[in-house]
Each structure stands twice: as C-alpha cells, then as structure tokens.
A and B are shown apart, each in its own frame.
Chain A
Amino acid sequence: DGGITQSPKYLFRKEGQNVTLSCEQNLNHDAMYWYRQDPGQGLRLIYYSQIVNDFQKGDIAEGYSVSREKKESFPLTVTSAQKNPTAFYLCASSHISANRGSNNSPLHFGNGTRLTVT
C-alpha cells in the first residue's frame, strides 16, 4: 500500500542534542512538508520541498534543518538551537501542479512523531 511513514512514533532526547525525524513516502509525490503541532496553535509549517535538492522555509524554520536528496525522503533535524522542541511533528506529501483543474492533490499525512526533549 502506498503511504507516508514517519519513524519513530515516540522519540526522547536530552536537551542540547540534535535529533533527526524520518519521513518516507512511496506515493511518487513531488512535494513534501513538515509541520509542528502544539496545543491551541494548529499546524505550523516548518519546511517544505517541491523538488529534489530544493526546499523552502516555512513559518517557523528557526532551529530546524532539512534535506531532500531523494524524492521519497524528507528528514527533519531538530537542532539544539530550537528553544522549545517538545511537540508533535507531522510529515505530509502531495502532487503539485500549476494547472487549473488538474486535481491538484491534497496533503497526505504520516502518523506523526511525538518528540520529547528533557
């Protein structure tokens, strides 16, 4: 079955350590996204990528880094510079097209990773 896999489901780290969250998709989607979810704040965009070897900052990119070396993979690194890293992280992917009526697909989401930093 096609889908998006995020791993691990739960992740614990000590303050000051970098940590990488994995996101893999086999939907052949061009675009991939990382969101952070905190209570009362909805989903906030961290980074997104529409093509291999290219990515764009979202609304809250500080303290995070990403890479897009393969179409299928979009790992997110939470660095020690991120002041409040404890959160629920969601990865998503979609087709992308500039054509009207092209059935531009909505986002397909993974099951998320809950990161706790102490």
Chain B
Amino acid sequence: AQTVTQSQPEMSVQEAETVTLSCTYDTSESDYYLFWYKQPPSRQMILVIRQEAYKQQNATENRFSVNFQKAAKSFSLKISDSQLGDAAMYFCAYRRNSGGYQKVTFGIGTKLQVIP
C-alpha cells in the first residue's frame, strides 16, 4: 500500500528566507505523480507544484521548487524568499499513474509559520 510521510509537524521561517519541507513516500509503482498542496486558514486546498515520476528534472513554480529523489523516494519542497502569505499547512500527496484505480494519498501535513 502506498504511504506518504511528512516528518515535520511544524516549521518556521523568517520572512525572505528559504525553507525546505520534507516528504517521503513508499510505493512499488514506477509511474506516479507527486504533489504539494497548500491549505491556508481559509481551508481551501491549493495546488502548489507537481512532479511526474518519469521526469528527472525537478519541477519549479516561481518561488517553489522540489527536490525529487526517486531512488530514495523523497520529494521535498523548497520555498524561496518566504512571504507572509506562505503561512499555511502544506500537504504532500501521491498518485499512481499506471491504470486501474488511482487513489490519491496525502501525508499528515506540515504547518509553516512565517515570522515577519
């Protein structure tokens, strides 16, 4: 069964600094997607970034980038130039992409605090 582990319940970062959130996963599949979602206090889930497992190049979206290590089953999120609006819960998620049933599994989340 696929599992997603986020080992940092809470993190804090100074405004304008860089922070990295960790995520590891367990799967026997070779073809899958990984996602990072942000959930601000409004509780709306917002997609931050996604990575396709067959692509070696790490995904980037403006200030957000990932470090995808397929062999280590690691998928960390780096937030550069942190802003106050980045304060939120961040969830890592996994989805297989090889046909059949494709349930999406989430980690328990990391609460990010941004200090002015």
Query: Which residues 26-46 of B have a CB within 8 angstroms of A?
Result: 31, 33, 35, 37, 43-45
Closest B residue to A94 using CB positions:
B104
Main secondary structure of the interface of B (DSSP, over half): loop
Residues on the B chain within 8 Å of A96, using CB: 102
Interface residues of A in 31-50 (CB under 8 A from B): 31, 33, 35, 40-45, 48, 50
Whole-angstrom distance between the alpha carbons of A54 and B44 in the complex?
Answer: 27
Q: Which residues of the other chain, A, contact B9 by a CB distance below 8 angstroms? A: 40
Bound CA span A20–B8, Å: 35
Instruction: Report the interface size for chain A: residues with CB under 8 A from the other chain.
Output: 28
B-side contacts of A97, CB under 8 Å: 97
Docked pose: A41 CA to B4 CA in angstroms:
12
| Contact partners of A35 in chain B: CB under 8 A | 106
In the complex, what residues of A have CB within 8 A of residue B91's CB? 42-43
Question: Could you show 11 A-B contacts with beta carbons less than 8 Å apart?
Answer: A33-B104, A40-B9, A41-B108, A42-B109, A48-B104, A50-B102, A101-B52, A101-B54, A106-B50, A107-B45, A112-B44
